[in-house]
Structure formats: structure tokens, C-alpha cells
A and B are shown apart, each in its own frame.
Chain A
């Protein structure tokens, strides 16, 4: 029995929410068999599932293991669908460079933000953890991202954030890149104090902040 497009996309969404990799593989093959646009399947099937997981995390109904399980399942769908996707750059919301500040190896929060940004369609350059300041500056110069997302779990590494922003200013890069920050000790107050463009208290909020920034940028343009 052939499934309708709606059934296939809903199946993908449910498979991601359930963290069911096998179901993700099955529905991804159905996408290709039915001739559904794989980009549409990714955004309206998989990404919708991750959005649901974000909501559940916000509401305290899902935690890191559940988010990682969904992301792991989704990655199996992506492996099948991605080779068939022709990237339409106009559909990409923006480019983000993300990393954990120098001296800090705590990257689980950053990894979840990266996953959620990717499923929201962003092009993400993940610089990893314990990233030296000059490496951030060089990457921002080379990649020209719309946004740089900085994470810190320790107060010592958090204090690298204003320092990096100064370096971006000195390198004449700050005007062209929005800076958002997050992590355990980081607060809205701190973000305002150092002149960051946004603060995400958690991963879903970080994505919403990026969306807002990109909407504002597009509005200006």
C-alpha cells in the first residue's frame, strides 16, 4: 500500500520524536520512492520532529538524552535524504559560526544548539571546544557568518567573550557579524553589559534568537 505525502512526513516527524532510527530510515526511503522533495521532507518531517523536541525541552518534558536520541535518529534520515537535496541558498536562513570559549571543554550545550540550528536550516560551522581567540577571528574573517554563537560553562571562559568582541572590533569584523552568547554562568545582564546581540538561556531559545537576528537583517536589507 502506498503512503500519502502527509503520512510519510508525519511518519518522519514521529520517528524523530521517538528517536527511532529504523523508522527514520524507512520513511526516508518512502520519501524517495514517492518522489517527495527531500528538502521538504527534511524541513517538514525531520525538523518538525526536532522542533517538537525543543518544545518538550522548554517545558521540562525532554532532556539531553532524549534530544540526542532524536538527533541521532534524524541523522540517519539525513544520510539518506541529503545526497538528493539541491541546496537552494535562498531557503537557508543564515550562516552561524559556533564554538566553546578558550579554556573550556564543556560542549554538550553547544552541540545541542548546533543540532537545532542545523535542523532549522542554518549553515553551521562548528569550531568545537576550547577554541583559541585568534581561531575565532580567522574563521569569522574567512567564512563571513551572519552570526557567531559563543558558549561558556565557566566564569573564567565566559570572560573571554568580551575579549573576543574587542578583537572582532579591532579586526573590523564586529559590524558585520552578530554575536550571541549562552552557557551556565551567562545571563541577559552580562550579554547586555558586554554588548552582545543576543542571549539564549537554552538551546531552543538560542535558535529563536538567531531567527530574530536574521529577520531583522533581512528586514533592513
Chain B
């Protein structure tokens, strides 16, 4: 067949076309690659990737060129929405670490929360690096880029701001503190969006958020509806009011309860938005339910990409493409969560190969 893909659309052109509802040549591939980009660029550990703007952008551009995937550059907050609030983070400079982590949340007690103030993004040191990442990507014409915006979710609060097990107990013992903390992270999310709009405009980026701790492995749909949902709706409304084109939301983990309760439908995403569920929610659930209003991503499970053979991964990708390809507002082949940083390159390539072989329009 020769190198027929040399005649393909450029990956960034393909990504831009799908979000605008324009015609594309094949299913785009969004592997949700972060640490893997640094891995294939020769970084033995991922600390520089998460802490240095130039490394973050360079690695993502290089990996996209290497594989031919369509994932735009993602600007990741080097403060992890934890250092922003005075929390303690650790960059992954040890070989066993796959990502940045929050070592100590600033709020351990109700008194800590009382003393806490919503930060001004312009005065947060790590925010300057975050902005630098975005500006660098834009200067290299990596648009639209995805910028990680976090606020109002349990995931934006019970990790980086409040110690998670304390937060979980507050649901019953001190619900007023849960409401207060969620309001504070919502306010910060709004401020960060305003800050980025002021600095780089509203037409070059898409806000991206994810919510693993809001999943129904951890909290009930009832609690999701009672506590974070109204804040998430406000955060997304604010983003759209600021003129941002859409939201890109990774509903990380098991969210079937939140789907069945109608919560997910209530979150404004833009027209269309981008909805990416974890592999716990297969495409035969997400496409019929959300495909009329959103671009759907999914949904090859990460453990398979890490451990199965190239042929098996290719077959899984083909199955997903067949389920998602004709989703009304568009479909991108994606892994169910972050691509395992040290996944075998051929298994990652299998995603692109499958899109080329089975995802043509």
C-alpha cells in the first residue's frame, strides 16, 4: 500500500476540522498522552515534563510528529492546583513516578479552611510557568491548545486543597465545609480562566477538565448532584460566557451512576463539546447518549495498551472505531485514561494504524 498516509491531513488541521464540524479524512487519534511524550523523547523520568514549559511543549510536539496522532498540545498546571493554594507537590523525578503528585493538601482541619483564601492567579508562582507553557505553544502555532482548568469538582478540591479522607467525612459531618471548599475552588477555576483569557485571548484554547474523584466508585450520584454539580455547571457556563469555544471534559473512571441520574447532561459543554469517559463507560453507552451534542472520545483501556500485544491492541482499536466512527458530531479514538507513560511504542502506534486502516471517511 506504500506510505499512503503521507497524503493525509495534517494532525492539527484534522483536529481543528473535527471541532469545527468540518469534513475530515479519517478518525482522529487522541491517545491522551502526557508522560509518554517525554518517554519517547528520551526523558528517563518525567519531572522536567511537568515542571518546565519548554519540555512540556517540545515533547508533545515531537511525539505527535513521531506517531502522527492528532492530540493537540495540553498545557498542564505545574502547581497541580495544589501548590497554587500553598500545598506541597512532588514532581516525578523518581523512576517509579508516572506523574506529578500532591504530597500534602493545605487544608487538614476546618480551621485551615477558615484561614484559606482564594489565590490570585497573577501572584501564584507556578501559574507563571503555566502561562508560559500556553504562550509558548501558541507562539509555535499549536492552536487550539487544551488548557487544564480545575474548579468546583470534588476532584479539584479533595486532593489539591483538602485532605481527601477528611473531605469525604465532611460530606456527613460538616457539609457546610464541603460547600465552602467547593465554592472556593470554583472561584479559583473562574479566576484562572479569566487570567488566561486576559493574557492569551479566548480563541486559541479549549478548557480541559477531568474528575476522577467525582466518579461513582468513590461518591454516589446523589452526592455528586447535591455537592459539586451546581459548581461544575457554573464553571462551564463561565468558560462559555468568556467566549471559549467549548469544553473538553474527561469523565475519568466509572460515571454510569452520574449518567443515569442525568447529571452529565446538565453540564454545559458548548456546541459541540468534547466528552471523554473512562473505559468503564463504553462507546455503546456514550455515543447514543451524548453523541448528538458532543464529539465523543474513547475508549481503549489503558491496561490493554500497556500489556497486550500489538495485534490485540489493533483489534481493540478497530472495535472502538467501528462503534464510534459515525457518531453524529464526530469521534476520536482515545485511550480510556492517560496513556501509560511507558506503553510499548508499537501499541501506541496501533491506535494510529487502526485509524488509518479502519477509520477512513
How many A-B pairs have beta carbons closer than 8 Å: the answer is 87
Q: Nearest chain A CB to B192's CB is how many angstroms away?
A: 24
Give which listed residue, B216, B219, B223, B306, contacts A155 with CB less than 8 A: B306
Complex contact B219–A64 (CB within 8 A): yes
Q: Are B172 and A19 interface neighbours, CB within 8 A?
A: yes
A12–chain B nearest beta-carbon distance, Å: 19
| B315 close to A (CB within 8 Å) | no
Q: Residues 173-191 of chain A: 1 if any B CB is under 8 Å from the residue's CB, otherwise 0?
A: 0000000000011110110
Contact A105 B103 (CB under 8 A): yes
Stretch at the interface among B112-120, B161-169, B231-239, B266-274: B161-169
* Assembly CA distance A184 to B171 (angstroms): 23
Which residues 71-111 in A have Cβ within 8 Å of B in the complex?
72, 101-105, 108, 111
A155 touches B302 (CB 8 A): yes
Residue B359 interfacial (CB < 8 Å): no
Contact (Cβ within 8 A) B96 A190: no
Complex Cα–Cα for A72 and B168 (A) = 11
In the complex, A187 Cα to B224 Cα: how many Å? 27
Closest to A19 in B: B172
Q: Is the CB of A155 within 8 A of B98?
A: yes
Per-residue B-contact encoding for A52-69, CB less than 8 Å = 1, 0 else: 000000001001111011
Interface residues on A, range: 20 to 34
Interface string of A25-69 (1 = CB under 8 A from B): 000000000000000000000000000000000001001111011
Q: Given A64-B218, A185-B302, do A156 and B168 touch, yes or no (CB 8 Å)? A: no
Q: How distant is the Cα of A87 from the Cα of B104 in the complex, in angstroms? A: 36
Number of B interface residues at 8 Å Cβ cutoff, please give it: 34
Interface residue A160 (Cβ < 8 Å from any Cβ of B) = yes
Q: Does residue A193 face the partner (Cβ distance < 8 Å to B)?
A: yes
Q: Which residues of A contact B171 (CB under 8 A)?
A: 65
Chain A min CB distance to B223 (Å): 7
- Kindly identify, within residues 191 to 222 of chain B, every residue whose CB is under 8 Å from any CB belonging to chain A: 216-220
Which residues on A sit within 8 Å (CB–CB) of B172? Answer: 19, 65-66, 69
Asked if B219 contacts A103 (CB within 8 A), the reply is no
Residues of A within 8 A of B35 (CB): 156
User: Does the CB pair B303–A190 fall under 8 Å?
Assistant: yes
Residues of A within 8 A of B173 (CB): 69
**B residues less than 8 Å from A209 (CB atoms):** none
CB pair B97 A156 closer than 8 Å: yes
A130: chain B residues within 8 A (beta carbon): 101
Given contacts A65-B169, A155-B341, A156-B341, contact A103 B220 (CB under 8 A): no
Which of chain B's residues have a CB closer than 8 A to the CB of A19? Answer: 172
Chain A contacts of B94 at CB under 8 A?
102-103
Contact A105–B102 (Cβ < 8 Å) = yes
- Docked pose: A19 CA to B307 CA in angstroms: 41
- What are 19 pairs between A and B in contact, CB < 8 Å? A64-B217, A66-B172, A69-B173, A72-B169, A103-B96, A104-B97, A105-B103, A108-B168, A130-B101, A156-B96, A156-B342, A157-B97, A157-B98, A160-B96, A185-B302, A185-B303, A185-B340, A187-B303, A190-B303
Known: A65-B172, A156-B96, A156-B342. 15 other contacts (CB 8 A): A63-B219, A63-B223, A66-B220, A68-B165, A102-B94, A105-B103, A108-B218, A155-B306, A155-B341, A155-B342, A156-B35, A156-B98, A185-B302, A185-B303, A202-B217
